Amino acid sequence: MGFIEDGRQSDVVAEASRRRTFAIISHPDAGKTTLTEKFLLYAGAVIEAGAVKARAGSRRAKSDWMALEQQRGISITSTVLQFNYRDCVVNLLDTPGHRDFSEDTYRVLAAADAAIMVLDVAKGIESQTLKLFEICRTRSLPILTFINKYDRPGRDPLELLDEIEEQIGLRPTPVTWPVGIPGDFRGVVDRRDGSFIRYSRTARGASEAIEERLDPESASVAEGDAWHKAMETVSLLDEVGSSLDMESFLAGETSPLFVGSAITNFGVRHLLDAVVDLIPPASPRKDSSGVSRPLDAPFSGFVFKIQANMNPSHRDHVAFLRVCSGSFVRGMTVTHGPSGKPFSTKYAASLFGAERDTVDVAYPGDVVGLVNASGINIGDALFEAEAVTFPPIATFAPEIFASVRPKDTGRHKQFYRGLDQLEREGVVQVLRDPEGDSTPILAGVGAMQFEVFTYRLANEFGAEVELTSAPYKAARRTDRTTAKELRNISGTRVLTRSDGTLLALFENQFRLQRLESDHPNWLLDHIVSAGALP
Ligand code: G4P
The closest of 406, 420, 402 to 458, measured between CA atoms, is 406
**Confidence (pLDDT) at 310:** 55
Q: What pLDDT is attached to residue 49?
A: 55
Eight-class DSSP state of 204: G
Within 13 A of 16's CA, how many CA atoms are on the CB side? 25
Per DSSP, the three-state class of 358 is strand
Report the alpha-carbon distance of residue 316 to residue 318 in Å, rounded.
Answer: 6
CA 147 – ligand 1 centroid, Å: 13
Instruction: Please tell me the predicted confidence (pLDDT) of residue 58.
Output: 38
pLDDT of residue 208: 86
**What pLDDT is stored for residue 163 in this prediction?**
95
Kindly state the average pLDDT of the residues 336-352. 78
Backbone angles phi, psi at 69, to 5 degrees: -60, -40
pLDDT of 15-68, one tens digit each? 999 999 999 999 989 998 889 889 988 988 766 555 454 444 433 333 333 444
- Predicted pLDDT at 346: 75
Q: Which CATH class is domain 285-383?
A: alpha beta
Give tens-digit pLDDT for 253-268.
999 999 999 999 999 9
Q: Give the domain ranges of the chain.
A: 21-75+90-277, 285-383, 395-528
Cβ-contact 33, 103 below 8 angstroms: no
Distance 38 CA to ligand 1 centre (A): 12
pLDDT single digits (tens) 446-504 = 888 898 899 889 988 999 999 999 999 999 999 999 999 999 999 999 999 988 899 99
Ligand 1, pocket-test mutation among 34, 116, 258, most atoms within 8 A of CB: 34
Task: Name the residue with the closest Cα to ligand 1, atom 10.
Answer: 29
CATH entry, 395-528, from 1.20.1050.10, 3.90.550.10, 3.30.420.40, 3.30.70.3280 = 3.30.70.3280
Is the minimum distance from the CB of 75 to ligand 1 under 6 angstroms?
no
Contact call for residues 197 and 267 (beta carbons, < 8 A): no
Q: Say how many Å lie between the CA of residue 29 and the centre of ligand 1.
A: 6
Overall fold of domain 21-75+90-277: Rossmann fold (3.40.50)
Per-residue b or e along 455-492, where b marks 16 or more CB atoms closer than 10 Å to that residue's CB: bbbebbbebebeeeebebbbbbbbeeebbeebeeeeeb
Most confident option among 73-87, 253-267, 343-357, 409-423? 253-267
User: CB-hemisphere CA count at 13 Å for 140?
Assistant: 7
Same-fold call for 21-75+90-277 versus 285-383: yes
Overall size of the chain counted in residues: 534
Q: What three-state secondary structure class fits 200?
A: strand
Containing 12, the helix (H) or strand (E) segment is: helix 12-17
Residue 28 CB–ligand 1 contact under 6 Å: yes
Ligand 1 atom 31, closest CA:
29
Identity at 321, one-letter amino acid code:
L
Residue type, 232: E
Least confidently predicted of 25-34, 170-179, 313-322: 313-322
